[in-house]
Chain A
Amino acid sequence: MKLFNLIRIALRALQRNKLRAFLTMLGIIIGVGAVISMVAIGQGSKKSIQDQLSSMGSNMITIRPNSNQTAGGGARLDATNLQTLTLDDIKAIQSQAQYLNEVSPAVQGRGQAINGSLNWPTTMQGVSPDFLTIRNWPLKEGDTFTDADVNGAAKVCLVGQTVIENIFDPGDSPVGKTIRFSKIPFKVIGVLAEKGENAFGQDQDDIILAPYTTVQKRILAIPYIQTIYASAVNAESSGPATQEISQILRTTHKLTNDNQDDFTVRTQAELISTFSSTSQLLTVLLAAIAGISLLVGGIGIMNIMYVSVTERTKEIGLRMSIGARGVDILMQFLIEAVVISITGGIIGVLFGLLASKLITVFLSWPTLVSESSIILSFMVCAITGIFFGYYPAQKASRLDPIEALRYE
């Protein structure tokens, strides 16, 4: 028996009952469409959280001092006042770490930024030129400071958008101007691109960046550093990089096995995974609900195929009398079920894509249609067709031609 002929027979049979075939398909269409659009909503929200977090700097690793357990008890200090991180630590990390690209020290101080008659309270962060790379932060205008500026503790700075809006008149180009911060004049050599709020709602543009040496010596008058920012080679290596940094710092800080770390190492990956697991749960929930509707669609196919077999008993009898074998009848009904489910699947995928698009356009929810959800729901469809189509098809194929012919 040629499969091609069977497909032709099945298609003709479906054609004779277009409306019913379509209504049966509708269950699958809605099921697949729901799976795809629901997963798209889940994935979309996950993606937007990830994007927000990675806008803080991709693969960024943050090292802060940690309140060490003092031997005799006593008061534990706030992390910013701890003096355990030094430039020697940075040198050790830079020379020994293999999983890191850039490393930058950071110190920061609050103060009033003044330009002429305008002033604004803000934060000045002292960093190395690599900081912009670590934070994935481009300049809008001008240039960044150099290693020479760092070595010379030059009074130059890069200004964030929020600060510019508050101390410069609109249309005024800040590059080349001199502003004062904590009474010290700084030459503006660059403007930072707008970065917006971070995932916690903080304004990332309310900042002035300067060489860390300048901030250390001229603003804070401290020899130690408060934070170390580093970037891992890629997202996968942030784990090993963290361990590597811990080992290096434990060595430079001369910590024995009994001592706890006097620093903490945090990666973006940890943050991302926390947020991701929440949205992953959302995705799974939505997909489960949508999956149930797909199952209902499959049962719909089985139901209709059963009715169809009973209704077409006489046709089955005729087909058998003119030479159709049981397997031919089985295949015909199975192909009918699979054609319904696969056609429904294709329409459902298109429907799901359209629905995701409409959700983004009209509700402004982020959606992300993943290929895997399309492939998966399509596979489920085909399997549903075979699974739910098989039993009625088998029933049809086992009919006795004599009784089937006499069936009224």
Chain B
Amino acid sequence: MKNFQPGKTLNLKLLKVKLKTMANKIVDIHDLKREFIMGSEIVRALKGVSFSVEEGEFVTIMGSSGSGKTTLLNILGCLDKPTDGTYLLDNVDVKKLSRNELAQLRNRKIGFVFQSYNLLARTSAIENVELPLLYNPSVTTSHRHQMAIKALEAVRLSDRLDHLPNQLSGGQQQRVAIARALVNEPVMILADEATGNLDSKTSYEIMALIQELNRQGKTIVFVTHEPDIASFSNRTITLKDGKIIKDSKNQNVRSAKDMLASIPANEE
């Protein structure tokens, strides 16, 4: 497997993306199908979806409930395997992998951010962030600690290392979750309605952070049903009834930072 480290060759890679039309494809999906058997019925959640995500892109996947959005997310996150079609994640064919190999792939290449944060209760921020590294035997204890601090610095929480989740606000908890997604230096951050539980101001803060991470070269796939959130991304894929009905680059990418600045301070 190719080991991709976005932080180190950041500017060069961005240049390459702009100069060459053939950039490194992080996600390459071709004619993806996923069928579930519910009793005697076959439910076709995905009916042949094809798209690819290039390195450094910020893509939102939109769709109402029942559109196949969640199924697609599960497959993208290597939690589920397609019935038919191919999915290459960082040039690895997911279909051929066993359960354990999928777990390893999630550990090394994907950073999850969930709607409900999913932090371990009664566990400090830094320990929550260290968690993915505990499942990676090649990371030593001291290295693990440094990487976790670095990740928390990236989400500007370096002063909250030993805080427990119940001592943090929702936005801060989600930032810890983002740090946890960053800590293993994944090729892609996969966010599932990551702002769904937050008020608009905090949502903008999180989106500003995600935009910043994207500017630093992180590939981001963001699943949401809010068009407002989608407007912060470079590209939006819209699903309906298990098919892509729209896949377009955003012409006017909004800056979450600017949005945040435009909100009056007294609203807090």
Contacts and interface: CB of A to CB of B under 8 A. Distances in A.
A326 B134 contact: no
B65 interface: no
Nearest to A326: B99
Interface string B98-124: 011001101110001010001011110
Contacts of A328: 103, 135
A401 interface: yes
A309 to B, nearest CB: 15
A5 B180 contact: no
Contact of A323 (B103, B120, B123): B103
Interface string A318-345: 1111111111100000000000000000
A323 B121 contact: no
A57 B119 CA distance: 73
Interface stretch (A8-16, A161-169, A216-224): A8-16
A42 to B, nearest CB: 45
Nearest to A401: B79
B135 A402 contact: no
A189 interface: no
A322 B135 contact: yes
B106 A321 contact: yes
B148 to A, nearest CB: 13
Contacts of B77: 321
Among A8, A322, A401, A405, which residue has the most Cβ atoms of chain B within 10 A? A322
Contacts of B79: 320-321, 401-402, 405
A328 to B, nearest CB: 6
A12 B123 contact: yes
Contacts of A2: 137
Interface in B18-68: none
Given A2-B137, A5-B134, A323 B122 contact: no
Contacts of B108: 323
Interface string A389-408: 00000000000011001000
A363 B121 CA distance: 49
B46 to A, nearest CB: 14
B155 to A, nearest CB: 16
Contact of B180 (A314, A317, A322, A324): A322
A12 B112 CA distance: 22
Interface string A225-251: 000000000000000000000000000
Interface in B208-248: none
Contacts of B121: 16
Interface string A10-36: 001000100000000000000000000
A149 interface: no
Given A5-B135, A401-B79, A318 B100 contact: no
B166 interface: no
A13 B122 CA distance: 9
A8 B135 CA distance: 11
A118 interface: no
A323 B127 contact: no
Contacts of B106: 320-323
B112 A322 contact: yes
Interface in B127-174: 127, 131-132, 134-137
A194 interface: no
Contacts of A405: 79, 114, 118
A405 to B, nearest CB: 7
A337 to B, nearest CB: 19
Interface in A354-408: 401-402, 405
Nearest to B77: A321
A323 B74 contact: no
B80 interface: yes
Contacts of B104: 323, 325
A1 interface: yes
Contacts of A320: 79, 103, 106
A318 B115 CA distance: 12
A324 to B, nearest CB: 5
Contacts of B80: 402
Counting from the closest, the 4 A-B pairs by CB-CB distance are: A323-B107, A325-B103, A322-B132, A323-B135
15 contacts: A1-B137, A8-B134, A16-B123, A314-B118, A318-B114, A318-B120, A320-B79, A320-B106, A321-B106, A322-B132, A323-B104, A324-B107, A325-B99, A325-B100, A326-B99
Interface of A: 1-2, 5, 8-9, 12, 16, 314-315, 317-328, 401-402, 405
Given A16-B123, A314-B118, A323-B136, 10 more contacts: A5-B134, A12-B127, A16-B122, A322-B106, A322-B107, A322-B132, A322-B135, A322-B184, A323-B135, A328-B103
